[in-house]
Structure 1
Amino acid sequence: MRLRHPSGTPLHLSYCTNVHPAEDLDGIIAQLDTYAAPVRIILGADVLGLGLWLAAPVAAALAADPALRGRLRRELTARGLEVVTLNGFPYRSFHDPVVKHAVYRPDWTTPARLTYTLDLAHVLADLLPEDAARGSVSTLPFGWREPWNAAMAGLAARRLDELAAGLAAVESTTGRVIRVGFEPEPGCVVETTEQAIATLSDTDTERLGICLDLAHLACAWEHPADALRALREAGLPIVKVQLSAALQTSHPDALHEYAEPRFLHQTRNPAGGSADDLSEAFDGRLPGPWRVHYHLPLHVSPVAPLATTVPVLREALKELVGDPQPLCDHFDVETYTWSVLPPALRPKTPGQLAVNLADELDFARAELRDLGVTA
């Protein structure tokens, strides 16, 4: 959806399609009819933004074939849909029965991760609306923290130089600016704002920056005002914001039905205690309160004593859009856990999921409107 900051700057609000499993072009187009087009109609939006997830094989096919890119753009336009951002974190197989640590592979030491990200940049350059200032691609924060050593860090730094050069070539060829945002996440090489600044400030910050996931920020127990101030002072741009909320509770025993086998749910407490997955946190050695990397729908309030980190999201949005100029213009609602939610919260049909996706976007739009953003 197109929104407008009080300064007049256009803001783009979308939902991320990594909630859907298709990994080929026909499947992606079918998803547009099953979910995205109904969501647009429910919201009464003239145009609905999508944060597309394209798995590596379909990204490569699209990057290699202008006719396929043209087909995808026409299919989007015909349904009143547009794309200014892509999610390039999961490489493929994001809806396998067990994903866990596999989502961090290939990492940024590998040619495969570089190739995939540049494929996405080439695709996005052709999908961008004519009046969009730029496009964004989010990616993983280098890789999982183990194994990681100085040699791997050096190799990743060289990959980032190649990435910046590749993005410059895309701009030279197409005239479109594409930026890549690295997404700090608990347990990864870069999981905090401080680590992001230390790792990325010396890169090409015209093209590389941060994808700020607000559930991840909350799970790190960071204060949004402090984190965003540090990013501003370091000159590290926020390329994209993922609007997301994590689980929170002071009663860990209430979380057992959220332990599930597909995704990794890193768990943290404010003293710096941690477990790499929720199922590992139940051994009694991690005192509460806990914040859990489990994306809960923004508009859903779980049963007490559980809560979500929506208050952190609200604090962050005040910092992001409360100044005379916004700190970011791409906002993507990223709740990919609908299929693994406890049964009472899980949509049973595609139509129910579409309604819930619309409700979540409506919640995000209302939060932005409360801060002076208009349609």
Structure 2
Amino acid sequence: MNATASRPVMGYCANVHAGVTWEEAWAQLRRHAPEVRRRVLEAIDPQGASSPRPMEVGVWLSAPAARYAVEHPGEVERFAEWLQSEQLTIASFNGFPAGDFHAQRVKHGVYRPDWTQPERLAYSLDLAWLAARLGDPIRAVSISTVPLGWGRPRPPASWWTACAVNLRRAAGELARIEAETGRWIHLDLEPEPGCALTTSHDLVALLGELMVDQHGVPLETHEQTLVKRHVRVCHDICHAAVMFEDQAEALGRITAAGWSLGKIQVSAALAASPRSHQQRHVVVEALSRFAEPRYLHQTVVRARDGSNHEWFFDDLPDALNASAIPDQADWRVHFHVPLDSDGFGPLGTTFDQIAPCLNAIAAEPLATAPSHADTIDPRPIVEVETYTWSVLPEPPDPERLAERIAREIICLNQPRPTPMRW
């Protein structure tokens, strides 16, 4: 079997599935993940569903579910056996939402606990021990995490120092796990609009904070190497697009500063570009259907008058009710929309941002920086992350969720035209 034939298929992040307990989370994976794999392989592999290629799954567990699994190793062993039987492999955990990510109202609560709190460190390390037992042995395992916490208003200097202290503690524990188990696990900070880490520029500033101790004394060289090995970046394409970041420039800035990429989350945001008062009215009316009570939908509006002036809103309703926004402007909304969607009436998506990002990580030096003598594949994990199916204006039948997830993965392997809008 050649390397391409045995390479795992790009998978998806399972935070799309509700389930706050260990058993609920596993039940959701049993229900959906094997069917996603079957449909994807039938579409993209010459051998179809009989192909031996595994599919990667990014597991999401709440903090209580992760703690339960750590305390019940027999359950973890059963889960590992099931993964093998279904030809599924884990190269990624989503450690961002610690609570019930499908509660009636999540909003700002998804950023708690933040990285100043011991509960965030404990949750992340529980996931790390599970990653050591369950992760793909030929790949480093990624655990994406909250970008320190919510960032508006900007936290004081002491808050940033406390976050850095706990991240360095996490790196030390991950190094210990690697020494004991041989499993390389990295914790990947995921910038998000409105958070303490919103853009690639914020990551550049944070690295300096991580490379000194709480007294401002630079870390020893070996300590800096350890932190950089185990604390990395999760780049969410939707998040960068909402902030109007150029994907290739953002990735280049991150790696030039000394960060490594641990994970790429393939996702698309809502977008619109009205050019008149009437068109703005139509856009606002269309966007109002996406203003829902569960998730936070940060919105950025950029003027089209050449000034590039931007307005940031914590949530979509705030933007819809704002009077200062000009009629001619570009709108970006943090609402992860299906990748195979051509849009929603007058609304488009940022799907066109995906190819520049994936092309950039395939190019040198991004794919190899920094180099290690490891035999483990150092490339960033790439996974689809659309978790908002249940809150779409017209949500799909839950019985067809696996089909819809598979269509997203399949569409990334097929060219498609960009629909023309205003």
Q: Same fold (TM over 0.5)?
A: yes
Q: Which amino acid aligns with 1:330?
A: I
The answer on whether the counterparts of 2:339 and 2:351 sit within 8 Å (CA) in structure 1 is: yes
1:230-245 to 2 correspondences below 5 Å: 230-245=253-268
Deviations 1:9-34 (A, max 9, x none): 96762201101111222222221231
Aligned residue pairs total 359
Alignment partner of 2:296 out of 237, 248, 264: 264
The answer on whether the counterparts of 2:264 and 2:382 sit within 8 Å (CA) in structure 1 is: yes
Shift of 1:48: 1.7
Deviations 1:60-107 (A, max 9, x none): 122233222211111211222111100000001110111100000000
Q: Which amino acid aligns with 1:208?
A: V
The answer on whether the counterparts of 1:86 and 1:120 sit within 8 Å (CA) in structure 2 is: yes
Q: Which amino acid aligns with 2:339?
A: L
CA 324–153 in structure 1, closer or farther in 2 if over 3 Å, else same: closer
Name the residue aligned to 2:376: none
Q: Which amino acid aligns with 2:383?
A: D
- TM-score after normalising by structure 1: 0.91
Name the residue aligned to 1:225: 248
Name the residue aligned to 1:144: 150
In structure 1, C-alpha distance between the alignment counterparts of 2:366 and 2:6, rounded to whole Å = 8
Q: Which amino acid aligns with 2:192?
A: E
In structure 1, C-alpha distance between the alignment counterparts of 2:152 and 2:252, rounded to whole Å = 29
Deviations 1:25-57 (A, max 9, x none): 222222123111111111225322110001101
Name the residue aligned to 1:274: 312
Identity %: 38
Residues 1:39 and 2:36 are matched in the alignment: yes
Shift of 1:323: 3.7
Structure 2 unpaired stretches of 5+: 42-48, 212-226, 275-282, 303-308, 369-378, 416-422
Residues 1:334 and 2:385 are matched in the alignment: yes
Q: Return 316-325 or 293-302, whichever deviates more.
A: 316-325
Deviations 1:208-236 (A, max 9, x none): 11100000010110111211221221121
SS at match of 1:269: strand
Shift of 1:325: 6.7
Deviations 1:126-165 (A, max 9, x none): 11223x2310000010000145211211111110111111
1:283-298 to 2 correspondences below 5 Å: 283=321, 284-287=323-326, 288-298=329-339
Alignment partner of 1:20 out of 7, 10, 17: 17
Name the residue aligned to 2:221: none
Name the residue aligned to 1:30: 27
The answer on whether the counterparts of 2:360 and 2:366 sit within 8 Å (CA) in structure 1 is: no
Name the residue aligned to 2:280: none
Q: Return 110-119 or 230-239, whichever deviates more.
A: 230-239
The answer on whether the counterparts of 1:3 and 1:13 sit within 8 Å (CA) in structure 2 is: no
In structure 2, C-alpha distance between the alignment counterparts of 1:293 and 1:237, rounded to whole Å = 25
Deviations 1:160-183 (A, max 9, x none): 111111111111111100001100
Q: Which amino acid aligns with 2:393?
A: P
- TM-score after normalising by structure 2: 0.81
Alignment partner of 2:341 out of 292, 297, 300: 300
Name the residue aligned to 1:59: 66
SS at match of 1:205: helix
Name the residue aligned to 1:371: none
Runs of 4+ aligned residues of structure 1 deviating over 4 Å after TM superposition are 8-12
SS at match of 2:228: coil
1:1-375 to 2 correspondences below 5 Å: 13-44=10-41, 46-130=53-137, 132-146=138-152, 148-201=155-208, 202-203=210-211, 204-251=227-274, 252-253=283-284, 254-270=286-302, 271-283=309-321, 284-287=323-326, 288-323=329-364, 326=367, 328-343=379-394, 346-350=395-399, 352-366=400-414
Rg larger in 1 or in 2?
2
